[in-house]
A and B are shown apart, each in its own frame.
Chain A
Amino acid sequence: MTTTDNPHLGEVVAPPEIEEETAADQAPLDRDLMALPPDASVNEYITAWFKRVRSGQSGVLPVVGGLIVIIIVFQIERSQFLSALNLVNLLQQSAAFIVLGMAEIFVLLLGEIDLSLGYSGAVGAAVMTILAYPPINLPWEFAILAGLATTATIGFAQGQIISRLRLPPFVVTLAGLLFWEGFLIWVINNQSPSNGGSIRINNTVIYDIVNGNMSVTAGWIVLAVALVLFGVVSVTRDRRRRAGGLVAPPLALTLAKVAFVAVGGIALVAICGINRAVFTGTTVRGIPWVVPIVIAIVVMWTVLLNRTRFGRYIYAIGGNREAARRAGINVHRVRVLAYTLAGLTAAAAIIILDSRTGGANTDTDGGQIVLYGVAAAVIGGTSLLGGRGKMIDALLGGLVIATIYNGMGLLSLSADFQYMITALVLLAAVIVDAVSRRGQSSA
């Protein structure tokens, strides 16, 4: 090499760049906690997990912890909080928040926001309701599909406007919020002028999405099938990784994870199997249909985000849009598709909401419920800045919001307190997130 005979030590014309070693320079030694040798034992995995939690990469832990605290507080205050009736009620209440949170996550991951999802979803749900109502009387499958397609189309159109014209999503979807609110009122009043701004859901299948229950036997069968599938998929994935010479968690850990999920599932089905009829002499038991539906949506969207190119690109664009563009990703297409799927999912959320209340209403507060969707995602741990978040966040965050809502109701606290407490929880979630982030990464 030529380095030795170059007399560049003498003259200092361009001063050598003496820079401070930044924190990131020394960081990797103690920071890459996910790094484990291929033959790491269960113990090492658990130690690494604890380290990760301590360093702020805690994932779902703060939400789960917070949820448990809230539940304990409500249970102490009102013993009927953990009754089967109330727990099932809570699940039914949380479903719309959860699904709307998932809708919002598609755009939050891009670092964007969609404020219109509450009302555009309500428009889709209204379309479904009208189609299933006399005189059209469309079968429920087609009515639901039409409703989903309506809001997906709205999302597609708004995504096109945002992406093609390079407009701020906040403003475009704010316009969407106002427009679809007006449209919702117009459609419902136009359809049934005499009904005071609501259209009843008279299709029993649609009504039973939230209000109907699976038989207890069916619940156990579905749970068993789901657990077997989950176990097989988990174990074979690890085995395939190991066969390829890659690091995989030890079998015991994977089985423990499956067992953990199994315990949760069994508890759920068992609780829902208790007769929760309010009137003596009647029987109400079984899991509400909405529960497996919500879980299926979580699983489906999680697979989409984690295991497909589209999902990977959403994260990439949220992380560094310019890098994504230079990597040859069609950023425009991914963004529009994200808005479309957000619309599709929002329609599902409001269909669930309308199914619970029994009809499509002009006074559906789409402006408020969309913020609950955002709050559910953020409380669960999804970042508003993009690139970070999972579908499971909406599940946890939605449960938190519904728990507050439900518990406050049991305590006979009115809307004023519900709003304020929900706001404080949201704030706490953001603070926990920001503080843990500060400790974690300077890069």
Chain B
Amino acid sequence: MMADPTDAASETQEGNVSRSALADRETNPGSEARGGTPDSQTLLSLRGISKHFGPVTALDGVDLDVPSGRVTALIGDNGAGKSTLIKVIAGIHEADHGEIFWSGERVQIRTPHEATLLGVATVYQDLALCDNLDIVANMFLGLETISHGMLDETPMELKARETLTSLSVTSVRSIRQPVGSLSGGQRQSVAVARAVMGDAKLVIMDEPTAALGVSQTAMVLDLIQRLAAGGIAVIVISHNLNDVFAVADRVAILHLGRLVSSGPASDYDRQSAVEIMTTGALSGRENGAREAAARA
């Protein structure tokens, strides 16, 4: 992996400074001193993202890099700003300050539609599926194939099957069964399949395992890893640190609207992650470093 203990130590306060500085020199001399543009593997880069709701500061100068083909876990206590951050990326909220870079280019994401055009797909916690419709109808809801004014089921069904197969979702016996008859993990798979069907490059998953049992959770975590293995950048929000450490390549920790720590998942353990989540910093800094050293 990309684990590099020394990097982790330096990242604890102001993520990716060294790498960003390097990228800054190479590609974009004019960018802000604080962040700079990302390196080429980074799909999405946030620099100094702030968002206020009236007097409330939901996000305060967040810098985050999301690489392609990796799972980035976004963790934090309630009210830390995780939801606001993904809503900024998904175009539901527009950031008040800060810059967003997509494949190194500065972009604006003002509406969900703009996010979709870039290739951002969001799977919300409630999945937004219609239980009474079958899998194909759900995957193509709002995107139906039409010929002569009528629904053209054949191409839709073929594409749905192809997408599910590519995600190795094979436990579903018929893609014509209503989504209401599926298990929690299968429903999650359908929602993800719907998300990636439109050539998504970044998939954001909000609490994908929150409502699932043990075996279903394993199925979804497996799906998340396959997404990343397919070259898609994945952001996972989760309260469940077991799940986070099971799939995440990188961890980003929010505390009171600030990104207080980020780095390779191997630089964290549950204890340090929880401590940073709850207090915003690691009390015994040498403690974390010692553990990192012990692993290395």
A334 to B295, CA, bound (A): 59
| Contact A2/B264 with A32-B173, A319-B131 known, Cβ cut-off 8 Å | yes
Of residues 106 to 146 in B, which have CB atoms within 8 Å of A's CB atoms? 124, 126-133, 137, 141-144, 146
Asked if B239 contacts A14 (CB within 8 A), the reply is yes
Check A24 against B174 for contact (C-beta < 8 Å): no
The count of residues in chain A whose C-beta lies closer than 8 Å to any C-beta of chain B is 56
Q: How far is the CB of B83 from chain A (nearest CB, A)?
A: 15
User: Which B residues touch A22, using CB under 8 A?
Assistant: 184, 213
Q: How far is the CA of A328 from the CA of B112 in the complex (A)?
A: 10
Residue contact B133 to A6, C-beta cutoff 8 Å:
no
CA distance A312 to B154 in the complex (A): 16
Query: A363: CB under 8 A from chain B?
Result: no
On chain A, the residues within 8 Å of B284 by CB distance are none
Selected from A8, A246, A307, A323, the residue in CB contact (under 8 A) with B242 is A8
Distance in angstroms from A367 CB to nearest chain B CB is 30
Flag whether A156 is at the interface (Cβ < 8 A).
no
CB-defined contacts of B157 to chain A, threshold 8 Å: 244, 246
Q: Let me know if A316 and B133 touch, CB within 8 A.
A: yes
The one of B3, B128, B291 that contacts A327, using a Cβ cutoff of 8 Å: B128
Q: A312-B151, A324-B141, A327-B128 are in contact. Are A32 and B239 (CB under 8 A)?
A: no
Q: Are A2 and B266 in contact (CB under 8 A)?
A: yes
Whole-angstrom CA separation of A309 from B146 in the bound complex: 8
Q: A14-B241, A24-B184 known; A6 and B141 CB under 8 Å?
A: no
Interface membership of chain A positions 251-286, coded 1 if the CB is closer than 8 angstroms to chain B and 0 otherwise: 000000000000000000000000000000000000
Q: Which residues of A sit under 8 angstroms from B154, Cβ to Cβ?
A: 240-241, 244, 246
A21 to B214 alpha-carbon distance, docked (Å): 7
Which residue of the partner chain, among A5, A315, A324, A443, contacts B181 with CB atoms under 8 Å? A443
Helix, strand, loop or mixed for chain A's interface?
A: loop
Q: Are B130 and A319 in contact, with the CB atoms below 8 A?
A: yes
Interface contact A32-B128, CB-CB below 8 Å: no
Most interface-central of B126, B173, B187, B295 (chain A CB within 10 A): B173
Is A387's CB under 8 angstroms from B265's CB? Answer: no
With known contacts A6-B266, A441-B181, A315–B132 Cβ distance under 8 A: yes
Evaluate whether A308 and B132 lie within 8 angstroms (CB atoms) in the complex, with A8-B241, A24-B183, A25-B216 already known: no
Instruction: Kindly list chain B residues whose C-beta atoms are within 8 Å of the C-beta of A443.
Output: 131, 179-183, 187
Given contacts A2-B249, A308-B151, A324-B130, contact A13 B270 (CB under 8 A): yes
**Residues in A whose Cβ lies below 8 Å from that of B149:** 308
Q: Decide if B1 is an interface residue (CB 8 Å cutoff).
A: yes
Bound together, the chains give a CA A402 to CA B144 distance in angstroms of 39
Q: Is A18 an interface residue (CB 8 A)?
A: yes
Instruction: Give the contacting residue for B183; candidates A8, A10, A25; CB below 8 A.
Output: A25
Question: Which residues of chain B come closer than 8 Å to A26, judged between CB atoms?
Answer: 183
- The answer to whether B186 has its CB under 8 Å from any CB of chain A is yes
> Is B293 engaged at the interface, CB distance under 8 Å to the other chain?
no
Shortest Cβ gap from B177 to chain A (Å): 5
**Which residue of chain B has its CB nearest to the CB of A327?**
B142
Residue of B nearest to A326 (CB): B128
- Contacts A2-B245, A8-B269 given; indicate if A328 touches B142 (C-beta within 8 A): yes
For the complex, is A388 an interface residue (Cβ under 8 Å from B)? yes
- In the assembled complex, B240 has its CB within 8 A of some CB on chain A: yes
The answer, yes or no, to whether B271 is at the interface (CB within 8 Å) is yes
Contact flag A316-B158 (CB < 8 Å), given A308-B150, A443-B181: no
Q: Residue on B with the closest CB to A321?
A: B130
A20 at the binding interface (Cβ < 8 Å): yes
| B129 A312 Cβ-Cβ under 8 A | no
A35 B174 Cβ-Cβ under 8 A? yes
Contacts A316-B130, A322-B128 given; does A245 touch B158 at CB 8 Å: yes
Q: Which residues of chain B come closer than 8 Å to A31, judged between CB atoms?
A: 177, 181
Are B271 and A320 in contact (CB-based, < 8 A)?
A: no
B151:A309 contact, CB within 8 angstroms: yes
A245 to B155, CA, bound (A): 10
Of B130, B146, B214, B248, the most chain A CB neighbours within 10 A belong to B130
Which A residues are in CB contact (< 8 Å) with B146? 309
Report which of B127, B174, B269 forms a contact with A7, defined as CB distance below 8 A. Answer: B269
The docked-state distance in angstroms from the alpha carbon of A256 to that of B241 is 57
**Taking the complex as formed, is A34 at the interface, i.e. its CB lies under 8 A from any CB of chain B?**
yes
Among residues 188 to 242 in chain B, which have CB atoms less than 8 Å away from a CB atom of chain A? 209-210, 212-216, 225, 239-242
Bound CA span A28–B269, Å: 36
Contact in complex: A246, B158 (CB < 8 Å): yes
Give Cα distance in the complex from A16 to B264, angstroms.
22
The answer to whether A327 and B274 touch (CB under 8 A), given A3-B245, A319-B133, A322-B128, is no
Q: Are A323 and B141 in contact (CB under 8 A)?
A: yes
A385–B158 Cα distance when bound, in Å, is 31
Q: Is the CB of B213 within 8 A of A20?
A: yes
- Asked if A225 is at the interface (CB within 8 A of a chain B CB), the reply is no
In the complex, what residues of B have CB within 8 A of residue A5's CB? 266, 295
Query: By the criterion CB–CB under 8 Å, are A329 and B239 in contact?
Result: no
A36 close to chain B: CB less than 8 A = yes
Q: Is A19 an interface residue (CB 8 A)?
A: yes
Pair B212/A387 contact, Cβ less than 8 Å: no
**What CA separation (Å) do A327 and B249 show in the bound complex?**
30
Question: Is A28 a contact of B172 with CB atoms below 8 Å?
Answer: yes
A5-B295, A14-B239, A27-B183 as given contacts; A35 in contact with B214, CB under 8 Å:
no
List 28 A–B pairs whose Cβ atoms lie within 8 Å, in order of A's numbering.
A1-B247, A5-B295, A6-B245, A6-B266, A6-B270, A7-B269, A12-B270, A14-B241, A21-B215, A24-B184, A25-B215, A28-B183, A31-B181, A32-B174, A35-B176, A35-B177, A308-B149, A315-B133, A318-B132, A320-B130, A323-B128, A323-B129, A323-B141, A324-B130, A324-B141, A324-B142, A327-B143, A387-B131
Given A5-B295, A308-B151, A443-B182, list of 13 further CB < 8 A pairs? A7-B269, A13-B274, A21-B213, A22-B213, A25-B215, A31-B177, A35-B174, A308-B149, A308-B150, A309-B144, A312-B133, A322-B126, A324-B141
Interface residues of B (CB under 8 A from A): 1, 3, 124, 126-133, 137, 141-144, 146, 149-151, 153-155, 157-158, 171-174, 176-177, 179-187, 209-210, 212-216, 225, 239-242, 245-249, 264-266, 268-271, 274, 291, 295
Q: Could you list which residues of chain A lie within 8 angstroms of chain B, going by C-beta atoms?
A: 1-3, 5-8, 10-14, 16-22, 24-28, 31-32, 34-36, 240-241, 244-247, 303, 307-309, 312, 315-316, 318-320, 322-324, 326-329, 387-388, 441, 443
Closest A-B pairs by Cβ, 4 of them: A35-B173, A35-B174, A319-B130, A327-B142
